[in-house]
Structure formats: structure tokens, C-alpha cells
Copies of this chain bind each other. A is one copy, B any other.
Amino acid sequence: MKKIGVLTSGGDAPGMNAAVRAVVRKAIYEGMEVAGIFNGYEGLIQGKIELLQLGSVGDIIQRGGTMLRSARSPEFMTEEGRQEALKQLKAHGIEGLVIIGGDGSFKGAAELVKLGVPCACVPATIDNDITGTQFTIGFDSALNTVIDAIDKIRDTATSHERTFIIEVMGRDAGDLALWSGLAGGAETILIPEVEYDLEDIITRLKSGSGRGKKHSIIVVAEGVMSGTALSDSLKREAGIETRVSVLGHIQRGGSPSARDRVIASQYGARAVEVLKEGKRGVAIGMQNHTVIDYDLAIVFKRSDTKKDEELYKLSKELSI
């Protein structure tokens, strides 16, 4: 393989730039050319493609967002769009692709694989919800952003003896809520994977309050319900007053954490290696502290994992 392309797609995540940098540097190290495809699949169709050099990725390892930008592409959802993408790849002599993004982006890659384009997919999403890997790029950074927010809100919660509900991202996946709730010392954590029990939440709040504990932090993943809906329920069912903070988009941004920069570097470099080795449709990931690659098909067979249950159980035990 003499020339590969790299693009970022889907919601941005801290560490995407570090992954792009690793792809570019590793490819050049391996004697390949690298083309940067701007604005995701949309830009691929439009031919927004530029050759990248070592200098193109200087001073970006520490930056949030993605220098290649990202975009939704309704056009790529169509057969015509994908044929256009294929034409562009051929026109630019790109023989393989590194796709950096979440599972939506991986689905696009799977379509390209069907059309004969070798793709290596690098998981980058703050939700940590890609089957087959223990960690995605961006999760650790988002986690640190969330606990920084929880620490700040705790100052007010303690000073005013109030209960705060903090709504964090996570439509289907509760990792961000669970880890941040545990790390933030939250008294109650609501995640999509476990049905919540309003009675239990009320009992816990009241028992804490009975013991003289007058402030409390509840972390709720947006996939369970909105912070406001939970606040309304607590007020209606038990007369409990709460304040709501919706963390929102700050969770996606910021300089990546050390760990995200390291795994982004590892994933990006491995993606180049697997293309060089002739693999055609693989995802990159981490298992047992070791970088792995595995069949893209595995990503789409989503299944719950047992580890979350242990962490969830722990969060309950420590928040007595």
C-alpha cells in the first residue's frame, strides 16, 4: 500500500487529533503517503482531500476537536454518494482508509469495505460504547471534564446543603455517568443499562438527610431521562427540592487527557499497520492493556458487558 487516507466522522472527541497525528507519522515512518480527508464522508464525496506531511500534524497532539473536521453526510447514505466517494479515492490514488469515529462512522466504513476499500476503524467517542474494545478515545477526557464539573457543583451543594442533579451525556451507554458518578462521589447514579427505582432514590436521599447529610449529588445519563424530568419527579413524589445542571457540550471538548493521547497514538499507529498487513475491514481497540484489531462485524453485535455491573454494585456500596 503506497497511499492511505484518514478522516474523522461523527461527534468530535478529545484525542481525535492525536490519532490523526499518529496515523500520519506512522504512515510516513512506513514509507507511505497520507491524504487528509476533510469534513468526514461528506468531504470525501466532495473531494476535500489534501496530502499531509509531518509538519501538518505538528502541535496538535494536545488540541481538542479535530483538525480534519467532521460532518454528517446524508449523501453517503445513498448508493450514488458512495460511488462518488469511491471515484474520489481512485482519483487520489488512495488505497486504504483510516476512519476515526464512533459506530455510525464504522457503518460507513463497512459499506466501503463492501466496495473493496480496505478500512481500519479507530474508536473515538466519549460514550465508550464500541463493542470489542474496553476503551474508546475521548472517554477518559470527558470523564475528567465531568468530574471537574461535579467537584465544582459539590462546593455549592455543600455550602447550601442542597441536592443537585447532574445530567451527563450517554444515550444508550452509561459508562460516562457510572465512572464519573463513582469518581465524583455521587450518592445516586442512574444509567440506561439498569432500570431505576424512584422509591429507592427517595429512600436513600431521606436516609442520608436523616443521618444529618444535607447535600447530595445525583448523576443521571441523558438516556435515562432529563435532569429536569428527574427533578420534577422527586418534587412531585416526595417533595424533595433539587437543582439541575445539564453539562452539555463541554463534555466533548478540551485538551485530551494523557491516557487518551496515549491510546490515540497506539490506535492510530496500529490502524496503519493493519492496512499495511493487508487487512480489509477491522476495528482497532484495547483488551487487557494491549492494542488489538478485530473484525468490524463484531462492533455491530452490541451486547452488554458484565464489568459494568460490578462497578455499578460498587457505586451502590460506597454511597451508603
Q: Report chain B residues within 8 Å CB of A70.
A: 159-160
Q: Report chain B residues within 8 Å CB of A180.
A: 258
Q: How many copies does the complex hold?
A: 4
Q: Report chain B residues within 8 Å CB of A71.
A: 160-161
A66 contacts partner chain B, Cβ-Cβ < 8 Å: yes
A262-B155 in contact (CB<8A): no
Quick one: which of B26, B156, B253, B287 contacts A318, CB cutoff 8 A?
B26
B152-A318 in contact (CB<8A): no
Known: A22-B318, A261-B182. Contact between A250 and B12, CB under 8 A?
no
Residue of B nearest to A286 (CB): B289
A59-B160 in contact (CB<8A): no
Known: A134-B289, A259-B140, A307-B290. Contact between A318 and B153, CB under 8 A?
no
A231 contacts partner chain B, Cβ-Cβ < 8 Å: no
- Find residues 1-36 in chain A having any chain B CB closer than 8 Å to their own CB: 8, 11-12, 14, 16, 18, 21-22, 25-26, 28-29
**A289 shortest CB reach to chain B, Å:** 5
Q: What size tier do the contact residues of chain A reach?
A: 35 or more
Quick one: which of B146, B156, B185, B269 contacts A253, CB cutoff 8 A?
B156
Residue of B nearest to A14 (CB): B155
Known: A152-B254, A252-B152. Contact between A320 and B69, CB under 8 A?
no
B314-A266 in contact (CB<8A): yes
Q: Report chain B residues within 8 Å CB of A252.
A: 152, 155-156
For the complex, what is the distance from the CA of A54 to the CA of B208, rounded to whole Å?
11
- Find residues 139-162 in chain A having any chain B CB closer than 8 Å to their own CB: 140, 143-147, 149, 151-156, 158-161
B307-A155 in contact (CB<8A): no
Residue of B nearest to A8 (CB): B159
Q: Report chain B residues within 8 Å CB of A250.
A: 149, 152-153, 245, 247
For the complex, what is the distance from the CA of A311 to the CA of B314, rounded to whole Å?
32
In order of increasing CB-CB distance, the 4 nearest A-B pairs are A152-B253, A64-B155, A65-B155, A155-B253
- 15 extra interchain contacts, Cβ-Cβ under 8 A, other than A71-B161, A269-B317? A14-B155, A54-B320, A61-B185, A62-B154, A70-B159, A140-B259, A145-B152, A151-B254, A183-B258, A246-B246, A257-B257, A266-B311, A266-B314, A269-B318, A290-B307
